[in-house]
Amino acid sequence: MAVHMLRDVRPPDPLHSARKISGGSRAPRVCSTLRFAAQALQIVRRRRTVTANTVTLERLYAVTDLTAEQAGSAEIAHRIRRHGDIENQLHHVRDTAWTEDASRVRTGTAPRAMASLRNLAIGALRLAGRRSIAAAIRHHARNATRPLTTLAIT
C-alpha cells in the first residue's frame, strides 16, 4: 500500500499508445508494470523564482494501489509530503555531507554498498542524538576511537 512517484513520464499519446486489432480498429495498450494501480494522479507544482520573477511548473505523475475508499485525495497528498520528508532527511544529507552525487563509485554493487554504509552511519549518529550530521562526521573524523565509542564498541 504505497504511492509510487513516476518522474519524467508524460501521458501517452492516444494515437501511438494503441495496438491494432482485427478490422483495423485500435485498442488501448495497458502497461504491464502499472496493472496494480488503483488510482493515478498528476501533481502540478508551481515554483516562483524571486530573482527572475518567473513561475515554473513541474508536473509529476504517481500511481497507487490504494482504492479511492482506502485513501482519498487528502491521504494521498499526506503520503506524498511524507515522501518529501524522507528525501530531505536522508538523501539530502547523503548528497551534502558525503557529496554522494560526485562519487566515483559506479560499478557492480559498490554504489549500493556505499549508500548502505552511509545510511548506517547516518542512522547511528541520529540514534546517538546528533542533529547535525555534517558536524558529527567532522567530530568523529578527528579521532579514530570516537566512532567506536558512539557505537558502544569500546
Please state the φ and ψ torsions of residue 125, each to the nearest 5 degrees. -70, -40
> Comparing 8 with 6, which gets the higher pLDDT?
6
Instruction: Give the span between the Cα atoms of 79 and 140, in whole angstroms.
Output: 35
Closest to 11 in 3D by CA, of 68, 80, 62, 67 = 62
Instruction: Give the span between the Cα atoms of 3 and 72, in whole angstroms.
Output: 12
**Mean pLDDT of all residues in the chain?**
80
Q: How confident is the model at residue 16 (pLDDT cuts 50, 70, 90)?
A: very low
pLDDT tens track for 89-144: 788 888 888 888 888 888 999 999 999 999 999 999 999 999 899 999 999 999 99
Taking the mean position of all CA atoms in its chain, how far away is CA 96?
16
Confidence (pLDDT) at 25: 53
Q: How confident is the model at residue 60 (pLDDT cuts 50, 70, 90)?
A: confident
